[in-house]
Chains A and B, each alone.
Chain A
Amino acid sequence: EDKVVQSPLSLVVHEGDTVTLNCSYEVTNFRSLLWYKQEKKAPTFLFMLTSSGIEKKSGRLSSILDKKELFSILNITATQTGDSAVYLCFNYGGSQGNLIFGKGTKLSVKP
């Protein structure tokens, strides 16, 4: 059965800290792994990863995929209170390319 497991499920840090969020997966017909940020409303796109070992960066956020060990990490450096959100990891898998979600990591950044 396809599955995506995120850890930790919740995390509380202080502004300025660096955090690492984890996403492991077991997906048939793996194509892509995606990270999204969800605040109050709709999840918004952060990164799409398809190749191992290539880091994607956007400001203080970065992510990398390891297709051999079947996991990805999302790093956030110098965290800010605006980074507080649920971070979702999901794959496109299965024969129809359905989105297969982890449960999310709830990040709280304290001032």
Chain B
Amino acid sequence: NAGVTQTPKFQVLKTGQSMTLQCAQDMNHEYMSWYRQDPGMGLRLIHYSVGAGITDQGEVPNGYNVSRSTTEDFPLRLLSAAPSQTSVYFCASKRLTDTEAFFGQGTRLTVV
């Protein structure tokens, strides 16, 4: 079982560049979500989705876009990277009912 797959694992961007973080799960989970993890801040919700075609904002959505065209994939787009977006990003998925959440391995993003 692949579980939740995130790519890339590491990325360095220049300010103003755009990029897409990929997240894919093979467990047919309805719920998928993106978090950023910063020292002293814990994991903060960026965007989430409860099914294909349905997305919503979390706690810190500014500067990020998402889409959910399939159940499996939930990409996170940085439109114009800023140094404040330097962080570790995690994708997670779960069934809509309250079950265990599964996390990807994380993407360490540095914006210079």
| Residues in chain A within 8 A of chain B (CB atoms) | 9, 31-32, 34, 41-45, 48, 50, 88, 90, 92, 96-99, 101-104
Contacts and interface: CB of A to CB of B under 8 A. Distances in A.
Contact of B98 (A41, A92, A102): A92
A90 B43 CA distance: 10
B96 A42 contact: no
B111 to A, nearest CB: 21
Contact of A32 (B35, B48, B98): B98
Contacts of B33: 98-99
Contacts, number: 53
23 contacts: A9-B40, A32-B98, A42-B4, A42-B90, A42-B105, A42-B106, A43-B103, A45-B100, A45-B101, A48-B99, A48-B100, A88-B42, A90-B43, A96-B50, A97-B31, A97-B97, A98-B58, A99-B43, A101-B35, A101-B44, A102-B42, A103-B42, A104-B42
7 tightest A-B CB contacts, nearest first: A103-B42, A42-B103, A32-B98, A101-B43, A31-B98, A101-B42, A92-B98
Contacts of B92: 99
B45 interface: yes
B41 interface: yes
B56 A99 contact: no
B75 interface: no
A3 to B, nearest CB: 11
A48 B58 CA distance: 23
B34 to A, nearest CB: 11
A34 B42 contact: no
